[in-house]
Amino acid sequence: MSGVILSPQHPLSAGLTSDSRLVRAYRGERSDATPVWFMRQAGRSLPEYRDLRVGTRMLDACLDPAMASEITLQPVRRHKVDAGIFFSDIVVPLKLVGVDVEIQPGRGPVFGRAYADAAGVAELTAIDPARLDETSAPITEAVARTVAELNTTVPAGSVSTGSTSSGSTPLIGFAGAPFTLAAYLTEGGPSKDHLAARTLMHADPGAWRALMDWTAELTGRFLRTQVLAGASAAQLFDSWAGAISLADYETHVAPASAAALAHVHDLAYETTDASGAPSTRSVPVVHFGVGTGELLGAMHGIGVDTVGVDYRIPLDVAVQRVGEGVPLQGNLDPALLAAPWPVLEAAVRDVLRRGEAAPAHVFNLGHGVPPETDPTVLTRVAALVHEASA
Ligand code: 1CP
């Protein structure tokens, strides 16, 4: 793909987010404090979210630009985190091209059927992923509204620690990686061990390849849409990649993840470097999965700037697996959010200390915020991260 320069109004091009703590960390620079955001920071842990969602189904909320935007902003205002993550779901692009999928409360994405064999895959891949470009207006609008709000009302570094960062809080766009989407598509819904996907990749490598190629094209377009509309970084969630071996990851998964990311790798913005000379930078990309200790090097190898680490591996060990010079994101065990404050505080400080082994660190959890989390604890953790790292 040939390079595309983001519009001058894009927050990265306009200089609003290019020197934010988050974007600087994603390019390997440390700033006045370690940036922090939480996976699943929007959602059920927030009473204001539960109020807003009453009577609206999950996917309807995702496709209502005003609602999706408001839900995205809620945790940014409340916790003073250094990024918003776009409120959506990894199955939204499937819904937008006409796949029969809903999100069942307490369960997750459920499909009208399972796409577990060649016939199922043929039916699915008969849909043209380019259809997304005709149906993605609610995504573009929700991102644009969110970014406009972040630019005007939620300045970056609005913390009490004497911040020197300026501009506005960046929005992170995200998409599901092909394997994680395939884990749902082949089962027809959530599963524990993702057996159907692991079977198909060996039982019918041709059908698997077709499924992965199609999914990469669709999810890559979804990610690109968010960046073009104003997201300042992109995160690819391969949440369930930890279910497979390194060999299977390299052969049957990594090429499709790389193909998905090709949809954003060509997007760039113009800026000036430290000496004032003009330079072009690409949009930062983060890659995360759960239980991926064995895969971290390979997950970095598909061409990402920052690797997200789950809570099973200390960050200083992750540095050795990913290779030095790579910024890391993570990795407080979400279970600790319910522990007594002294225990939690010690764990936060430990994560920060181990994160010093990387050139830059974005503090996060090792997976999503549990729905029953006390939101005041998250606010306190965000403040502690800023204070302790300043
Ligand atoms: O009604 C509800 O509140 C439904 C719960 C919910 C929410 C709030 C689901 C269903 N998705 C979401 C939003 C969502 N999904 C976000 C929001 C932004 C934020 O972080 O604040 C994000 C990033 C996702 C991405 C997502 N969806 C992933 C990857 C991230 C991860 O947590 O690993 C995955 C695996 C999904 C599938 C999914 N959607 C919903 C659920 C409960 C699940 C997991 C189901 C399972 O266990 O397999």
Q: Which amino acid, residue 4?
A: V
How far is ligand 1, taken at its centre, from the CA of residue 214, in Å?
22
CB-defined site of ligand 1, < 6 Å: 39-44, 58, 85, 87, 89-90, 103, 105, 108-109, 174, 180, 190, 237, 239, 368
What digits encode the pLDDT tens for the residues 230-271? 999 999 999 999 999 999 999 999 999 999 999 999 999 999
What digits encode the pLDDT tens for the residues 345-370? 999 999 999 999 999 999 999 999 99
**At the topology level of CATH, where does 4-389 sit?**
TIM Barrel (3.20.20)
How far is ligand 1, taken at its centre, from the CA of residue 302, in Å?
24
Task: Enter the tokens of residue 373.
Answer: 């989390």
CA distance 132 to 138: 11
* pLDDT given at position 276: 87
Confidence tier at 2 by pLDDT (50, 70, 90): low
CA distance 6 to 23: 16
- Element housing 171 (H / E): strand 171-176
Whether the model pTM is above 0.75: yes
Q: Is 41 annotated as a binding residue?
A: yes
- Degrees, nearest 5: CA angle 38-85-324: 65
Q: How many helices (H) and strands (E) does the chain have?
A: 17, 12
Q: Which amino acid, residue 109?
A: P
Q: How many CA atoms lie within 13 A of 366 on its CB side?
A: 21
CA distance 31 to 37: 16
Region 112-119: what's the mean pLDDT? 98
Instruction: Report the b/e string of 241-268 with b at 16+ CB within 10 A.
Output: bbbbeeebbeebbbbbbbbbbebbbebb
User: What DSSP line would sit under 270-299, residue for residue?
Assistant: EEE-TTS-EEEEEPPEEEE-TT-TTTHHHH
- Omega of the bond leading into 331 within 30 degrees of 0 (cis): yes
* Per-chain mean pLDDT for the chain: 95
